[in-house]
């Protein structure tokens, strides 16, 4: 699930978040009310809150009724699911970096509209833009589709249509040096290493855990890892060790597959 949505933002799930994710995992793509209530109960979420979430998801056309008491993703939910699953192919959307930068200029946009400002800041974080000078945000131009793709994604994430997005190159030496230091490569490497250790340790113990505990742990740790991926700026060499990032991402894919099977087994036990 891409995560510009709130669906990936909280490590303790709401009924809405958990239901949407389960509908991407369950056999046949259908989830009944009893299974939804049972799954949510693992996280201390009440049956009443679960039923309210189902009703609201249906009202928002994110889910639809299959038969009485059973649901599948609606059209909007399927689109969200495709967006959320896009993290698995993120590495294929990178290209070799030629040293140029994508720039978003916000100096003329103002800061009085707090809602617009929050949307802008969130979008910039998801796209990996950092502030070089006042109102001048940049990222390496290493994404397939270049400036046009980045502009389109920013607009889809709620950034104002009047935002100037363009390519820049040949910064003066001082700015170029500062640009290369906007991202903490050592901190990124640390998160990759720590993330790998956490997931490897979890995978080693999941098979020996009660199914309820395994389902809960695989959800929480898998969600944390996925959010780490979603907010990764996808930097090129030499700004970061891309091989280390790919290794972490491949492990997250394997962990996600293991977690999906655990949840299928958990839900099957309740039938």
| Residues 247-259 pLDDT 10s | 999 999 999 999 9
CATH number at residue 54: 1.10.10.10
- Give the DSSP H/E element, type plus range, for residue 168: strand 164-168
Four-CA torsion 122, 118, 184, 101, nearest 10 degrees:
70
Residue 1 domain flag: no
Residue 263 is classified by DSSP as H
175: number of Cβ within 10 Å: 16
CATH number at residue 147: 3.30.70
Residue 258 domain flag: yes
Q: Per residue in 121-131, pLDDT tens?
A: 888 988 999 99
Total domains in the fold of the chain: 3
Residue 199 domain flag: yes
Does residue 37 sit in the same domain as residue 74? yes
Give how far Cα 116 sits from Cα of 28, 119, 163, 205, Å: 39, 5, 12, 44
Does residue 14 sit in the same domain as residue 77? yes
Give Rg (Cα) of the chain: 21
Domain with 195, as residue range(s), is: 183-269
Question: Is the pLDDT reported for residue 3 higher than 50?
Answer: no
Instruction: Specify whether the CB–CB gap between 105 and 164 falls below 8 A.
Output: yes
Residue 254 domain flag: yes
Tokens of 247: 């290794």
Q: Say how far apart CA 246 and CA 131 lie, in whole Å.
A: 26
Residue ranges of E strands in 43-154: 63-67, 70-73, 101-105, 130-133, 136-140
Cα angle value 39/42/35 (rounded, 5°): 15
Question: Is the pLDDT reported for residue 107 higher than 90?
Answer: no
Does residue 163 sit in the same domain as residue 107? yes
Q: Per residue in 175-203, pLDDT tens?
A: 999 999 999 999 999 999 999 999 999 99
Does residue 198 sit in the same domain as residue 261? yes
The pTM score is 0.83
Tokens of 178: 């500062």
Q: Say how far apart CA 144 and CA 20 lie, in whole Å.
A: 29
Instruction: Give the strand order in the sheet containing 164-168.
Output: 130-133, 136-140, 101-105, 164-168
Residue 110 domain flag: yes
Does residue 51 sit in the same domain as residue 22? yes
């Amino acid at each position: 699930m891409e995560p510009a949505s709130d669906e990936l933002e909280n490590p303790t799930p709401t009924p809405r978040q958990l239901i949407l994710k389960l509908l991407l995992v369950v056999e046949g793509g259908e989830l009944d009310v009893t299974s939804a209530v049972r799954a949510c109960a693992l996280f201390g979420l009440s049956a009443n809150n679960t039923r309210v979430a189902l009703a609201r998801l249906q009202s928002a056309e994110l889910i639809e009724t299959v038969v009485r008491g059973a649901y599948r993703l609606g059209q909007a939910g399927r689109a969200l699911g495709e967006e959320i699953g896009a993290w698995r192919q993120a590495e294929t959307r990178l290209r070799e970096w030629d040293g140029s930068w994508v720039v978003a200029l916000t100096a003329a946009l103002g800061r009085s509209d707090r809602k617009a400002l929050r949307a802008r800041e969130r979008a910039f974080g998801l796209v990996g833009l950092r502030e070089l000078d006042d109102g001048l945000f940049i990222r390496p131009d290493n994404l397939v589709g270049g400036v046009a793709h980045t502009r389109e994604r920013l607009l889809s994430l709620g950034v104002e249509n009047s935002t100037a997005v363009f390519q820049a190159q040949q910064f003066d030496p001082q700015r170029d040096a500062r640009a290369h230091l906007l991202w903490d490569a050592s901190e990124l490497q640390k998160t990759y290493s720590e993330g790998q250790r956490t997931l490897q340790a979890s995978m080693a113990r999941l098979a020996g855990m009660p199914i309820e505990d395994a389902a809960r742990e695989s959800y929480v740790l898998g969600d944390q890892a996925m959010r780490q991926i979603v907010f990764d700026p996808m930097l090129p060499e030499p700004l970061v060790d891309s091989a280390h990032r790919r290794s972490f991402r491949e492990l997250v894919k394997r962990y996600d597959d293991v977690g999906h099977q655990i949840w299928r087994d958990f839900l099957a036990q309740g039938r």
